[in-house]
Every structure is written in C-alpha cells, then in structure tokens.
Structure 1
Amino acid sequence: MALVYVDTDPWLSEHEACEKLFREIMAQLTLRGTEQKTSQAYARLSSAIRLRMKQYSSEVQQLKDKLSEASASRSITFQEAERRSRQVELLQSREVQLQQLFNDRNTVYDANRSKLIQTRSTVFADAGTTGWGLDDDDDDAGSYQTQHMSIAELRQQQQRMVQDQDQGLEALSKVISRQKEIAETIGNEVDTQNEIIDDLAEHMDRTDSRIRNETRQVTVIDRKDKTCWYWVVIILLFISILIVSFV
C-alpha cells in the first residue's frame, strides 16, 4: 500500500495511512488466531501479515526520516516536531507489538503441543501400571476398551514404523554393499591398468634402447662404407700411375 498525499500536509496523511495499516494487520492477526497452524489459510494469512508488517516498518521509517528533514529545515515549529516525534514513537511501539503478536502464536502453539505430548506420555505410562482404573460400571469398561484400543493402535503404529525403518536400513545396507563392490572392482581395474602401463613403459624402454643401438651400428657401417670406396679409388689411381710409367 503506497502512502497517499490527500492533505495539505503530506506527513499527516502518511501518518494516518500508517495507523490504518496497523488496524488492518491487527485484524488479520485476529483472523489468523482462529485458524489451525497446519492449515493453508493460516499459511496464507501468515505470509500476508509478514508482507504488511514489512510495509508498516518501511512507512514508519519514512515518517521518521521526513520528520527529521522537516525539523532540520525548520519548516515546522518545535512544538509540532515534538508532537510528531511522539506519534512516531507510538507507531514504533506498535510495530514491536505486532511482531510479538505474530511470534506469540507460534510460541503458544509449540508450548501447547509439548504439553499435549507430555500429557499423553503420562497417561500411557499410568495405563501400563494401573490398567486405567477399571470399575464394574459399563461406561468405565467401555472407556477402558476405547483407551486400550488406542494404545494397541499406537503400539501397532510404532511397530510398523520400526519395521519401515528396518527395511530402509536393510535397503541402505544393500546399496552400501553394492557401492563397496563397485569400489573394489574399480580398484582392481586400476591396479590392472597400472600393471599394463608399467609393462608398456618397460617395453618402450627396451625398444628405445634397441633403436639407439641400431642407429649406432648404421652410423658405423656408413662410415666404413665411405672409407672402403676411398681405398678402392686410391688403388685404382695407383694402378693407373704404374701403367702409365711403364708405357
């Protein structure tokens, strides 16, 4: 809800809008108090109240800021500034009141719930030791039977919950076992791959060594081959010289 300027002094109009918003929030809090905490209506009202409370806080802060500006510029008298300051303080105290009312609903609900659980536990404990105090009256017998059936149903429900938990734990155990088997398989595969990599590394080292040896042999042979041709040429030249000399 935006602040509306309908008066000659906008600050007064905004103050009136804040008071109207406060009354609307209070009405919503009252309506929420009639709903069950687990209902959808309660959730919707809580969300709406939370938004309106944020809006209320923002508008009160705007009034406070504008009052400070008016006081600093002396556009209003000192007495009027004091009066408006008290009005802002009242709005701020109402904001605290709204927050307490909004939170107290949850606190009361949790307290009542804890009290109810504690009371039921005490009743069940007394039922186990005293047998619910049976009399000869038919009404008392019927009441005992109803209460006894409630305890039996509660025990059955607890047994079903325990069984469900056991089944869940068993399923979880199977999943963990499968994960362990997968992890062991992956570990074995990694070990195998490491062995293969080591064998490849050794084979590559041997191959590299052989290549170096063959390279050296080829170099020696090449050198010897070149030297042999040199000697052949020298011998041929020597024979040619001898033939020329005798002729």
Structure 2
Amino acid sequence: MSQDPWLQIYDATCRLAQEIAENIHERNRQQRTGGNPAKINMTLRALLQKLKQNITQLRERLLRASSSRRMMQSEADRRQNLVDDLVTREKHLNATFKGEISEPEPSRSMLMSGGVSGDAMANPWLINESEETQGLSFGEIKQQQQRIIEAQDAGLDALAEVISRQKMMGREIGNELEEQNEIIDDLAQLVDKTDDRIRSETRRVKLVETKSASCGMLVVIVLLLIAIVVIAVWPV
C-alpha cells in the first residue's frame, strides 16, 4: 500500500522548511561578510510562499478527512498538532527573514562541548518533536502511520460489513412488506366482490318481494270479481 498522500505532503513541507532555514542562514552569513544576498532573497520569498501554500493544503486535506470521518479522532488531533507546529515554524521563518527577530544560534556550552552536529549548525531552527515520534527515523514514522492507517482500514471494513448486513435486513423487511401488501390487496378485492354480491342478492330479494306483493293483490281482486259475478247471477 502506498504512503498516505497527506504524509507525503507533510514530509515535503518539512523539507521545504529546512531548506528555507538553511537559505536564511546562508543569507545572513553573506550579509555579515559583505556579500550581495539579493538573489537568495528572491529565492526565499518564493520558498516562503510555497511553504504557506503547502500548509494551507495540509489543513484543507485534514479538514476534509476529519469531516468525512475517514480517520480516527486521535490521528486527526495528532495531525492537527503537526500542522500547528508547521504554522508556528512558518511564522518564525517569515519573521527571521524580515529581520523582525534574530537568527537563533547554538548555545556556547553546546559549542564548547562539541554537542552540536553539522546539521544542527546548518539548521539552527530545531523544533521539538512530539513524544510519539521522538527518536524515530522517517521510515519508522511512516511504518507507524501505516499501522494506524491499517487499523483504520480494518475498522472501516468492519463498519462496512455491519452496514451491508443492515442493508440486507432492510431489503428482506421490504420484501416482506411487499408480500403483506399483496395479501392485503387480495383481501380488499375479495371484500369488494363479496359486498357486490350482497348488494345484488339484496336487490333480487326486494324484487321478489315486490312481485309477491303484486301477485297477492291480483289474486284478491280476481276473487272479488268472481264473488260479484256469482252474486249477480245467483237467483234470488
């Protein structure tokens, strides 16, 4: 797995800050020896602008990653501390470049004891590292970051599995609801048909009752007519 792009930008930004510090040191040396630092000043302005852009990019990438919860909160806080350190270093380099503060120098006791290495002499801007990375090489820091990323990936895989199971359960519940809805629709249709039959039978019964009543009246009238006729023709 390739290195985290955020860490690649961070490493490049740290190297850029180191380069700026060394150039400021060289610029100041030329000024002390009567040299012309105009060219190196132009280079420093461009490098300081690039440093500012890199820090902005780191901050924006970290904000997006934190908002989308693609990393653990502890790792997001740790990276935010790294960005804050770079911001502090960038302000210090800018102030030193403008002459607002003097270039830090190794202490006399360190010089007398020989406790300052050549790198420290070339780069007097030494920033205290966090306890997590003190004594670690770049390779070890990358490995540490790799382990953190792998742990995050494992957590994301577990979360994805849980979400997948919940999605499957939701799909099964949806299918069950569709079947229940179909059963309810069939019952509704059956009830409608039964209701229509009841209404039809009710109308038929009413019609029969009406016909029966009519037939009864007709019989009565016929009997009355027969009686009248019999009475009329019956001899007195």
Q: TM-score range by the shorter chain?
A: 0.3 to 0.5
TM-score (normalised: structure 2): 0.42
TM-score (normalised: structure 1): 0.41
Point out the structure with the larger helix share.
1
